[in-house]
Structure 1
């Protein structure tokens, strides 16, 4: 199914998506993208359906061709303080507020609209496979977060973040058992909290 692109001449609409709600470590990242109908981008899709190489290539093209884009984070500490859903909303608001062009509407991937948006918001279930701007946001959020986790792996090589990106894999659990949590771990998440090593 072809993704829905913004209509030429319509007011600016931002697609918004996140990456990293499920991991045990690292931030949750959100991106907001306003696409230019006059500058199409071939190959946009839900980031989870794309190879790493395709995501990286498309991320460059999105940043080059979009009318506006922004990426924002909520840290592991913020996740622990307000919970993962509210931290995701916080990252989404930050991404929208970071856009150089003010959108008339934000299309949010999922079934909830973050409270306190600076524009009208609409939730779109499975929007990253339906709306081009949301697909673009999913790609920017995923590639940005993966880059952050690779940087984190340099500071904490014992956890293998560059391989599992903080997700709860057997290798990650084994590293947690051996070394305990590091500052990037989400201490409010049960698998980390249950270790009680901090």
Structure 2
């Protein structure tokens, strides 16, 4: 019963349950009523939090924009693997408990939410830039290119008319844009994009873990952990390592970009 109640997300149903047993004087009934009341309060608080993530988007929509996409990236800092961006258009009425910045979520929560976002969104797309391109372009330009690719593909599916972007503007894109500092934490569409991008990139790194055993890619996703650095010194770089990033570049005796 407790686990079942803990999963109930309909506040009206919870209120009905509380009302049905509120007058029952038995201790067990009163304990249930209190439990259901707490659950209802938690559900309402989470709904309010998620609704607040769309405050900025409502302001944009009030200006006449009807197809607003959130864009975010993942994989700027790792020493290995691609940088990935996602662009997501959510339905006008969207309530997804747990929606948040992907960095604040457990892997299991990210997987669950990413599946729900992909299932219910109006459209989504991914943009990816390889380690080789990162080395050629530098990480900033590669990140912007990943975002451009995601937006370009999205616009082939739906008539996007405004972009909500995490922290930056995307050059070379003619659509109106609203950059939001910490956008993945304060805007629902950007948060959704961050989750979709993170889950996709993590799946790539897990595949690379099988392709290049010994580096621990499935655990650190290419970031410069102690385990990863030790493997680099022991085994050398793989084809998916960013050769312009320190300490990969230092192993190869090359100049570096920040990484």
Q: How many angstroms does 1:38 deviate by? A: 2.6
Map 1:153-192 onto structure 2 (within 5 A).
153-192=209-248
**What runs of 5+ residues in structure 2 fail to find an aligned partner?**
1-48, 255-259
Distance 2:153 2:210 in 1: 28
TM-score normalised by length of structure 2: 0.73
> In the alignment, which of 72, 77, 98 is matched to residue 153 of structure 2?
98
What RMSD, in angstroms, separates the aligned Cα atoms of the two structures?
A: 1.6
Q: Deviation digits for residues 49-97 of structure 1, max 9, x if unmatched?
A: 1111110000011001111111121000010000001000000011111
**What runs of 5+ residues in structure 1 fail to find an aligned partner?**
none
Tell me if 1:108 matches 2:165: yes
1:185 aligned counterpart, secondary structure: coil
Query: Are the aligned partners of 1:181 and 1:197 in contact in 2 as well (CA < 8 Å)?
Result: no
TM-score normalised by length of structure 1: 0.95
Which of 53-62 and 39-48 deviates more?
39-48
Larger helix proportion of the pair = 2
Which one scores higher on RCO, CA 8 angstroms, separation ≥ 6? Answer: 1
Larger strand proportion of the pair = 1
Q: Tell which structure's C-alpha radius of gyration is larger.
A: 2
- Shift in CA distance, 113/10, structure 1 to aligned 2, threshold 3 Å: closer
Query: Are the aligned partners of 2:65 and 2:161 in contact in 1 as well (CA < 8 Å)?
Result: no
How many residue pairs end up in the alignment? 197
Q: How many angstroms does 1:197 deviate by? A: 7.2
Query: Are the aligned partners of 1:180 and 1:197 in contact in 2 as well (CA < 8 Å)?
Result: no
Distance 1:38 1:164 in 2: 36
